[in-house]
Amino acid sequence: MSEQWIEQVKWDEKGLVPAIAQDHKTGRILMVAWMNEEALRLTVEEGRGIYWSRSRNRLWRKGEESGHVQKLHEIRLDCDADVILLSVEQLGGIACHTGRESCFYRVLNEQHEWEAVDDVQRDPKQIYATKA
């Protein structure tokens, strides 16, 4: 199989590219993360959202702790070849570590304050409870 598809991605100086996860039915932006070449390859191979965690400095399979896996429907590359768009089905309906559907749950209101407008669907303490 040709490697041309992955060679066409413009990686930054750290070997990363931003990746936007979007709900495949509604079009809502769920989250933004980063991918390295391995994460992109594995996303294609496994059919699920896999990212590079800059804070953990390792691969991160979305849902590995929470169970909120992203089932891949389509991958797109933008016109400059420096942003990946993943069309996904968010299993469990929660993409954000705060327990909300989307990481983009705050809106700038008329008072120029960030206002949370989406409800927490599940308490993060329940999602990430340590297992004994």
Is 119 annotated to bind a ligand? Reply is no
Is 96 annotated to bind a ligand? Reply is yes
DSSP line for the chain: ---HHHHTS---TTS-EEEEEEETTT--EEEEEEE-HHHHHHHHHHTB-EEEETTTTEEEETTTTT---EEEEEEEE-TTS--EEEEEEEGGG--STTSSS-S--EEE-TTS-EEE-S--SS-HHHHTPPP-
Is 23 annotated to bind a ligand? Reply is no
Is 118 annotated to bind a ligand? Reply is no
Is 123 annotated to bind a ligand? Reply is no
Annotated binding residues for Mg(2+), written as ranges, equal 78, 80, 82
Annotated binding residues, written as ranges, equal 78-80, 82, 96, 103
Annotated binding residues for Zn(2+), written as ranges, equal 79, 96, 103
